[in-house]
């Protein structure tokens, strides 16, 4: 992996893992516009085989990377979902969109800027959003920038509403809202997980677009490996705990300005983290629990990789691969996992 500096890892300002597949357009139709499949993965660091990570199993993304332009020196504009996403989707810096957290809407607070999907839409593309593409708005009604960016109403997986609910079986046999949440998919509400639903929806849309006269821009936003780490439990087996090292830099770096320290409050709210009885609110996470966090993060990356695999296989099966540009990126790295 091209090592970004450790202080950057601590600040979580990593990533921009972009693999863009560049296949030639279909023969004879060189001037036909290509479709675009934009895959956005929430909190994905370059913890991927294609970035030289020897532990991570990410065969599908690695294969995409092997026939793509792989960005080795890309950085997130901000280590928070909403500003980072709005930044790359509008092609403007967070200082321009005036979004540093989750709440303001650039069309109201900064300027009526076009987005990338909006630009495609205004140029004859059918634009579609599946899953978490824009960060959903909290205090206003600008969720997904609909209708400006999208030709059809954005899709959100119905099972996403269970992400933070008590669906993780603990050692006590009860269900908890845990950080570490390997599940039997047949046992969870609706018998599915959000990213699986998003893959199915995206494949359905691709099927519909196959016969469309217009080109398409399909954005698919996957939720994992964002916390909570709720994933099919079989992926945990890929990462036996004894094979999972601690982060190379598990301590707060000396001299880090307090403002740059992230105490991971979101993580500390989870029942299994609360059960650790951490002595001080911002106190260090015990090493064995750090290892479990990393294990589940890596498992989520592999789970996510299989979803990307299904999506890319569908593109092949539908014979859309040669007429579609595929780009895969993330909003920023996960702040609790370094490697």
Ligand X SMILES: *[C@@H]1O[C@H](CO)[C@@H](O)[C@H](O)[C@H]1NC(C)=O
Residues of this chain that interact with ligand X (CB under 6 A) are: 28-29, 31-32, 112, 114, 141, 238, 240, 243, 275-277
The CB-of-52 to ligand X minimum distance in angstroms stands at: 16
Cβ distance to ligand X smaller for residue 240 or 255? 240
The CB-of-26 to ligand X minimum distance in angstroms stands at: 8
Tell which residue, 229, 227, 262, 247, has the closest CA to residue 337: 247
* 226 noted as active-site residue: no
- 222 token code pair: 């996957």
Cβ distance to ligand X smaller for residue 73 or 141? 141
DSSP letter string over 285-303? Answer: PPHHHHHHHHHHHHHHHHH
| Contacts with 246 (C-beta within 8 Å, 6 or more apart), sequence order | 287, 290, 291, 294
Do residues 32 and 26 touch, judged by C-beta distance below 8 A? yes
The CB-of-202 to ligand X minimum distance in angstroms stands at: 25
Name the active-site residue from 135, 142, 156, 176: 135
Cβ distance to ligand X smaller for residue 13 or 337? 337
Do residues 238 and 298 touch, judged by C-beta distance below 8 A? yes
* 81 noted as active-site residue: yes
The CB-of-10 to ligand X minimum distance in angstroms stands at: 26
Name the active-site residue from 19, 50, 81, 181: 81
Q: Can you list the positions of beta strands (E) in the chain?
A: 19-21, 35-41, 68-70, 126-131, 168-169, 175-176, 180-183, 216-222, 229-232, 324-330
Cβ distance to ligand X smaller for residue 204 or 243? 243
Distance, in Å, from the CA atom of 191 to the CA atom of 200, rounded to the nearest integer, reads: 14
- The residues that are catalytic are 81, 135
């Amino acid at each position: 992996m091209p090592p970004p500096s450790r202080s950057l890892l601590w600040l979580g300002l990593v990533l921009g893992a972009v693999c863009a597949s560049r296949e030639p357009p279909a023969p004879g139709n060189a001037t036909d516009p290509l479709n675009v499949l934009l895959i956005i993965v929430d909190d994905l660091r370059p913890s991927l085989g294609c970035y030289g990570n020897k532990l991570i199993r990410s065969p599908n993304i690695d294969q995409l990377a092997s026939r793509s332009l792989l960005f080795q020196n890309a950085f997130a504009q901000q280590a928070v979902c909403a500003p980072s996403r709005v930044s790359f989707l509008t092609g403007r810096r967070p200082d321009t969109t005036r979004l540093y957290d989750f709440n303001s809407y650039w069309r109201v607070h900064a300027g009526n800027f076009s987005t990338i999907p909006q630009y495609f839409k205004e140029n004859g593309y059918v634009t579609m959003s599946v899953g978490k593409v824009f960060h959903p708005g909290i205090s206003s009604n600008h969720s997904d920038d609909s209708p400006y960016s999208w030709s059809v109403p954005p899709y959100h997986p119905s099972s996403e509403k269970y992400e933070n609910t008590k669906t993780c079986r603990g050692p006590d046999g009860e269900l908890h809202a845990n950080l570490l949440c390997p599940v039997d998919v047949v046992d969870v509400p609706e018998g599915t997980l959000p990213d699986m639903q998003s893959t199915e929806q995206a494949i359905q849309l691709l099927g519909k677009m196959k016969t469309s006269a217009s080109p398409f821009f399909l954005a698919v936003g996957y939720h994992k490996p964002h916390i909570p780490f709720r994933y099919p439990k079989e992926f945990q087996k890929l990462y036996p705990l004894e094979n999972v090292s601690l982060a190379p830099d598990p301590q707060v770096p000396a001299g880090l300005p307090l403002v740059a320290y992230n105490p991971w409050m979101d993580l500390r709210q989870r029942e299994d983290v609360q059960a650790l009885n951490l002595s001080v609110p911002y106190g260090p996470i015990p090493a064995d629990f750090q290892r479990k966090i990393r294990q589940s993060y890596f498992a989520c990356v592999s789970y996510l990789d299989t979803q990307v695999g299904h999506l890319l296989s569908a593109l092949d099966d539908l014979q859309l691969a040669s007429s579609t540009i595929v780009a895969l990126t993330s909003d920023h790295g996960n702040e609790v996992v370094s490697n």
